[in-house]
């Protein structure tokens, strides 16, 4: 018990460390850049000016092809690793004292999953530096691996249902603007804060739609025992583009994802970090 208390105390000290919080801010900025790139590339497709519908791995590859791409990838890898660290700290010790009851447990599980995902994305950026592949087979690849396990289709279906639930949660978050507390009024004027809240609502709602659609495709893959039905972010965007009024749908979601990225930049600058 004493060892556990010491470990938790050390983790809380780490969460309160200004350098850890600086890394977290760098992480929000890195995440913002990834989503801005995804949104801008998809918007170019919608407006017929080039671009591509891609996900986070594709965004990293776009960064690698930019001038000074290696330098940018290093910065992204550090930032994404910092974001993953903060998410894992939130999952492990709830440094801001917000995760209470059943909802709090679900939130902490979400933080843990987010930390793992962005840690893997940071590793993908590092692999790209070595001219390796930044991907891991995409949604179809990991769905096939999961489906090959005992009760695999059931597991895939559960993951799909969780993604749908997360999407619904984000819809509620956008509607209620519960994220407003992350933008303390003391650090910006009321007008700027209101604009950022509107930007955040638009971006979070667009991301919520992507979560819901990704979850639905996973559920379909589970029901049909067919991993090829699974779709990652880029494929979800491509599917939207193929629907009636697909150009309009893609444009709205693309601009929403870019708005989400800009909102992450705002969090990198203004987010309040408090330790309980």
CA dihedral 50, 236, 80, 258 (to 10 degrees): 50
| CB count in 10 Å sphere of residue 133 | 12
pLDDT of amino acid 200: 92
Using an 8 Å Cβ cutoff, are 36 and 258 in contact? yes
Closest CA to 47 of 262, 257, 241: 241
Using an 8 Å Cβ cutoff, are 207 and 256 in contact? yes
- Summarised one tens digit per residue, pLDDT across range 112-139 is 889 999 999 999 889 888 765 555 567 7
- Summarised one tens digit per residue, pLDDT across range 213-252 is 999 999 999 999 888 898 888 899 999 998 888 899 999 9
Closest CA to 43 of 263, 270, 254: 254
Does the structure show a pLDDT above 60 at 38?
yes
**What are the helix (H) ranges across the chain?**
2-16, 18-46, 56-64, 69-93, 101-129, 138-147, 152-176, 190-224, 233-241, 246-270
Q: Is the pTM of this model over 0.85?
A: yes
pLDDT of amino acid 64: 87
- Summarised one tens digit per residue, pLDDT across range 174-224 is 998 888 877 777 777 788 888 888 999 999 999 999 999 999 999 999 999
**Whole-number Å distance between alpha carbons of 198 and 260:** 10
| CB count in 10 Å sphere of residue 83 | 28
Using an 8 Å Cβ cutoff, are 45 and 253 in contact? no
């Amino acid at each position: 018990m004493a060892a556990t208390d010491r470990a938790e105390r050390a983790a809380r000290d780490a969460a309160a460390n200004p350098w850890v919080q600086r890394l977290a801010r760098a992480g929000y900025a890195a995440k913002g850049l990834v989503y801005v790139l995804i949104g801008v590339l998809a918007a170019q497709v919608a407006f017929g000016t080039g671009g591509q519908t891609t996900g986070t791995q594709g965004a990293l590859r776009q960064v690698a092809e930019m001038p000074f791409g290696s330098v940018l990838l290093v910065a992204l890898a550090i930032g994404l690793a910092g974001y993953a660290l903060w998410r894992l700290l939130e999952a492990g010790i709830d440094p801001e004292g917000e995760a209470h009851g059943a909802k709090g447990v679900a939130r902490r599980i979400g933080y843990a999953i987010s930390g793992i995902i962005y840690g893997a994305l940071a590793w993908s950026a590092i692999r790209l530096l070595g001219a390796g592949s930044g991907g891991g087979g995409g949604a179809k690849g990991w769905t096939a691996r999961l489906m090959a396990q005992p009760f695999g289709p059931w597991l895939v279906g559960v993951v799909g249902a969780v993604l749908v639930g997360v999407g619904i949660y984000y819809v509620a978050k956008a509607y209620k603007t519960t994220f407003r507390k992350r933008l303390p009024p003391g650090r910006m004027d009321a007008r700027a804060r209101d604009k950022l809240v509107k930007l955040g609502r638009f971006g979070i709602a667009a991301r919520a739609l992507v979560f819901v659609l990704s979850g639905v495709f996973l559920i379909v893959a589970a029901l049909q025992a067919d991993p090829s039905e699974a779709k990652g972010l880029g494929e979800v965007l491509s599917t939207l583009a193929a629907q009636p009024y697909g150009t309009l749908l893609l444009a709205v979601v693309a601009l929403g994802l870019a708005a989400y990225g800009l909102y992450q930049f705002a969090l990198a600058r203004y987010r309040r970090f408090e330790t309980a």
